[in-house]
A and B are shown apart, each in its own frame.
Chain A
């Protein structure tokens, strides 16, 4: 026998290694084909539209498309002094078309964002431009309004030249780029978005904390009770979990109203006077209470599934070695439940940070969150690019948490019920 190892052949004469590889590849393709319908479906209807939100959020072609000749003429202009005659002529020609098509209003609004007071200047030009004579447009335009002599207004037009902008993202954190192109904060009394962001984080944090504090004892009880009792108690957790979100919000609206049962109870035990019932709904209190109850099952279930696996003999061993129950709990039991705590907290936090329905119904003005602002811009102001920008900022935050969650817990370890 030679020392060379002979290649093992399968029955059809092909080397085993090769035919194994072939089979492996076939299996891979088979597995991938099974996943592909859903994957393709999600990519087309979900992932690509989300990515599309990005292009929508930075899209600023509106002004660019309205003044094509002006921007072409402006390419040569350095922006230090008043632009040359060609720019004036190009602007006149562009603007004439806009007035004729009755779309000048959009340009007026857009440029007014750039420079306050631009609207009236443009409106005046729209009225006067009909009488313009051919040639020497610079003189004629500057005669209409003296502000046309101010180079600031021309710079404002030039600033809108790029077809893409990140201004919506700046607006989302209450900033804007001023006339000199520097990024500055908006006036103090107009910083509404930053309040919303911090409130969203605050609500999500405290709801997570409350959920944790409430879920830990009952998850422990569920995990340690004998099966027949714990199954019954588990229904108390699962029934709210399966019940419609709107039904649960409605029940909180009934409970928390001024003549509601909670207030009745407070009056009855003498905590508050009958004529001085506190407002518990349409503010942050309502949001906290309702969201905590609604998200509590999402904390209980992961905690329970981890606690179920901890053997009670570990605590007994700790105690038999001289630990007091408190020490045994903090040194033995608590560290073992940390995976469950991580899973539950991250899940609740992710859900809370994007909550929409409950804050909109019981939150009032002081209890609304960033999601409500996104919905507001989608439905009322129709500023879809701003809604997209805010949505993506929120999404980035959530994806970071999701990524951490995936690292710590693994998405395939999510348990339901």
Chain B
């Protein structure tokens, strides 16, 4: 955004001030994440930059907290990671199936009470998590699913489906329904039409909704706090306990891994978004 030559001085100053403010906000957004990375390699047990680290002394850095994360006997990070992945994967699959079906129905122009149903389906995203947590806990306790993997997976499907519904509905908004009609007129049954025509076209939306559902489940702590027993501990629960009791560098090692994971997810989501935009561009 170069300024034209004829810009008056006070607008020029204003413009640089504006860029400066933007820079500060971007710094505020992104910088906190980068504090964790160097501190997780701290050789000491403190959560501050030691003098050795400021001098970039190699002895001040170590990977002991990563070793502690993997081999440490006190921390059930291994179990937590296993549980987190199992729960998140099944919750994602469940959310994708239920959410995609619902989105297909919702984007049909014949759908009755569309607004009301959409508002209901999105509500788990809007209702404060603490209330969802209380309500789901009462339900799971009643049907005997509290402190089970299945209970947590079902809870996360509830929380994850709104994202799938939103992203898939958005993808379907540019969908040309005449191609599915063309497929039917050529003799394809509805299931085949869906698998061969509709699904490949809406796949970017489905996957990015799935990513949202995965992250939601993987990061979710409020509802799990109500539902989880000792065997169902997840990474967020371990982090929550750690942060409440004692902030140890091992948590920072875990946090670094989680940041790396979120970078990967972000890149995937971005690639998908672009692909989806390209695909929808062709359809128009």
A interface, CB within 8 angstroms of B? 24, 27-28, 30-39, 41-43, 45-50, 52-53, 56, 214-215, 217-218, 221, 224-225, 233, 235-240, 242-255, 257, 259-261, 293, 296-297, 325, 350, 353-357, 360-361, 371, 374-375, 378, 384, 387-388, 391-392, 394-395, 398, 402, 406, 411-412, 414-417
Contact = CB atoms under 8 A, between A and B. Distances in A.
A45 B126 contact: no
A254 B31 CA distance: 12
A239 B239 contact: no
B18 A254 contact: no
Contacts of B60: none
Contacts of A259: 48
Contacts of A406: 115, 119
Contact of B262 (A221, A242, A250, A360): A242
A354 B131 contact: yes
Given A35-B105, A244-B236, A296-B29, 16 more contacts: A38-B165, A42-B161, A50-B131, A217-B22, A238-B269, A240-B29, A242-B266, A244-B218, A247-B239, A254-B247, A296-B25, A297-B29, A361-B243, A361-B244, A374-B134, A417-B269
A289 B234 CA distance: 27
B134 A391 contact: yes
Contacts of B48: 257, 259-260
Interface in B137-155: 137-139, 154-155
A33 B240 contact: no
Interface stretch (B67-75, B106-114, B178-186): B106-114
8 A-B pairs with least C-beta separation: A354-B128, A34-B105, A35-B105, A31-B108, A27-B110, A49-B139, A49-B135, A38-B102
B169 interface: yes
B40 to A, nearest CB: 10
B258 A247 contact: yes
A239 B266 contact: yes
30 contacts: A28-B110, A39-B120, A39-B121, A41-B158, A42-B121, A45-B154, A46-B135, A46-B136, A47-B123, A53-B131, A218-B26, A225-B1, A242-B265, A244-B255, A245-B219, A246-B219, A246-B236, A247-B259, A249-B243, A257-B48, A297-B29, A325-B11, A361-B240, A371-B130, A375-B130, A384-B138, A388-B134, A395-B131, A416-B166, A417-B273
A76 B225 CA distance: 49
B101 A34 contact: yes
A48 B126 CA distance: 17
User: Which of A244, A252, A415 has the largest number of chain B CB atoms within 10 A?
Assistant: A244
B33 A248 contact: yes
A243 B25 contact: no
A354 B102 contact: no
Given A37-B98, A41-B98, A357-B240, A53 B269 contact: no
B261 to A, nearest CB: 9
B36 A239 contact: no
Contact of A250 (B118, B138, B154, B251): B251
B222 A357 contact: yes
A371 B122 contact: no
User: Which of A215, A296, A371, A411 has the largest number of chain B CB atoms within 10 A?
Assistant: A411
A28 B105 CA distance: 9
**Chain A at the B interface: mostly helix, strand, loop or mixed?**
helix
B45 interface: no
B102 A46 contact: no
A11 B105 CA distance: 29
A33 B105 CA distance: 7
Contacts of B112: 28, 31-32
Nearest to B154: A45
Contacts, number: 260
A296 B104 CA distance: 32
B136 to A, nearest CB: 6
Contact of A251 (B25, B36, B104): B36
A282 to B, nearest CB: 12
Interface string B1-45: 100000000010000001101100110111011011001000000
B284 to A, nearest CB: 16
Nearest to A378: B134
Classify chain B: how many residues form its interface, as a range: 35 or more
B101 A38 contact: yes
A243 B163 contact: no
A24 B110 CA distance: 7
A359 to B, nearest CB: 11
B131 A214 contact: no
User: Which of B28, B29, B123, B136 has the largest number of chain A CB atoms within 10 A?
Assistant: B29
Contacts of B269: 238, 242, 417
B208 A417 contact: yes
B252 interface: yes
B130 A356 contact: yes
A251 B33 contact: yes
Given A49-B136, A50-B127, A214 B166 contact: no
B79 interface: no
B132 A293 contact: no
A360 B222 CA distance: 11
A318 to B, nearest CB: 15
B131 A391 contact: yes
Contact of A356 (B102, B105, B122, B222): B222
B212 interface: yes
Given A239-B33, A251-B35, A46 B132 contact: yes
Given A41-B157, A411-B122, A394 B98 contact: no
A47 B134 contact: no
A53 B134 contact: yes
Contacts of A50: 127, 131, 135
User: Which of B32, B47, B110 has the largest number of chain A CB atoms within 10 A?
Assistant: B32
Contacts of A48: 139
Interface in B206-236: 208, 212, 215, 218-219, 221-222, 225-226, 236
Nearest to A26: B110
